[in-house]
Chain A
């Protein structure tokens, strides 16, 4: 069973690697965007799914990463790849500093505190006009070369970032620190009693998560070549990220990435047919996921589809 899954996974990766040689620029872009979400969802899942801390405002690190790359490439003429470690580092620093006070909060309070952090950073970036361009946004140096080459370049970089996030998530799920995180998710007090240094592990989880999301932000900035505070901090990103994690299953390694693929490709193929009402469709879809598939599409339908399973969540959680 494991082997079969593994073979499927590698076949999938190989297809993704070969795809750019047969598809056009538009679909390259769609897939690059999908990888972007895959990377964000996978990276955020370490704190959200594994540790059970709903970091709703985790997109803050995406924005920070985008601005780190933006500022370093424009003001300090740093080459693009050299900026990525700084993206990760800034995510680690911010999350570690904030983690100590904020990770004491639970549930809603934590979720909201992260939103507060995201909004605060956004407003600060908006006001640091000297460094960030403020509301004017920041234009990054445009990569030179043929469009074909540039699109393949970002396709592979983004794919790399996503797979890297996936690898980190996989490693975390296997090492003993990963088990500590799961213990925290299931019962934090019990974990603490068992001798797990919960604040340390939680901060570790958040820092790893922040680093991965930060790198993704850095790549995004160079890819789009124009960033402004209102697009990189917030927008529909947090909710899409959450929907992907839930759809794919937050307790699994590969779930969030699959969630990203499903949601992005569905939105691309189906929703373009419902131009006027696709926003409403997105809202309804999220409500549907929460009502019927909160454990993720794969977990819920393990061993085959049935309507009974579709309603199991309602049976369990209704008042």
Chain B
């Protein structure tokens, strides 16, 4: 059974990685902890849900829509809201994103209702069995998509001009500005990417579980833990952090008890902050550089 539980953990971890990667990117580059990350992810869930429910579009085909819509949303938010006060004390931005979270959650509750929703296509629940270990196709697909997206993100940041500019900005804002990079634009693109990735993870979430506007906070906390475990701003860090969180959750709930799994996840996060705040694959401690 332990093999099954490990596999469960890794598959779950793939999802955690995707929700964490956008969060980590925004945090690492712009130093904004986006507490609205979970709420933005849920916007993606609702896009998939309504397209599936009303237009009968396959949930996997809705992924690009989710990505593009939330990319635009994220860009506008950063460009016309966050950039206005981005130089203020960092916890002001923290509260600002919390204000956004409250607004978005209540917006969704008002217009999409507080009902729990879930997307269940015909092929849901199909699985293959290898050596007694059951692997559900949907979870496998979610995992694969997370890997692909993470790889693309890594490639984007390494090889493209915009990606390099984002990384340069995250390392040293002033120096980046001197080379002609417009931080206003880079910040907006970064936040847009973060939101788009959140939207993707939200769309995939709708396939494996039930969601309502009220789970936003829980999602943000998961993204938090992933980012801390893996290290900020690093795609591969978030990937590792996600897998680690998934495995730790399932294994600890098996050996210690299901109801302790949250306590363990949060305890681990605090522990990580204390011993190695830069995360497993972390680099320079950004907050120290800026303040």
Contacts and interface: CB of A to CB of B under 8 A. Distances in A.
B262 A116 contact: no
Contacts of B198: none
Interface in B87-133: 87-96, 98-107, 109-110
Interface residues of B, dominant DSSP:
helix
Interface stretch (B43-51, B236-244, B264-272): B264-272
A102 B291 CA distance: 17
Interface of A is mostly: helix
Contacts, number: 158
B266 A282 contact: no
A316 interface: yes
B35 to A, nearest CB: 9
Nearest to A104: B274
Contacts of A107: 90-91, 287, 290-291
A60 B140 CA distance: 38
B87 A290 contact: no
Contacts of A242: 91, 95, 98
B270 A280 contact: no
Contact of A294 (B83, B88, B263, B273): B88
B251 interface: no
A283 interface: yes
> Which 4 pairs of residues, A with B, have the shortest CB-CB distance?
A283-B103, A279-B106, A286-B99, A123-B263
Interface of B: 27, 31, 33, 81, 83-96, 98-107, 109-110, 183-184, 187, 221, 224, 228, 257, 259-260, 262-263, 266-267, 269-270, 273-274, 277, 287-288, 290-291
Interface of A: 54, 56, 101-102, 104-109, 111-113, 115-117, 119-120, 123-124, 126-127, 236, 239, 242-243, 246, 276-277, 279-280, 282-287, 289-291, 294, 313-314, 316-319
21 contacts: A54-B90, A102-B273, A107-B291, A108-B27, A116-B270, A120-B270, A123-B260, A124-B263, A239-B98, A239-B99, A242-B98, A279-B105, A283-B103, A283-B104, A284-B99, A287-B81, A290-B88, A291-B85, A316-B88, A317-B84, A317-B87
Given A107-B91, A116-B273, A246-B92, 11 more contacts: A106-B288, A126-B263, A277-B110, A279-B109, A279-B110, A284-B99, A286-B99, A290-B95, A291-B85, A313-B88, A318-B85
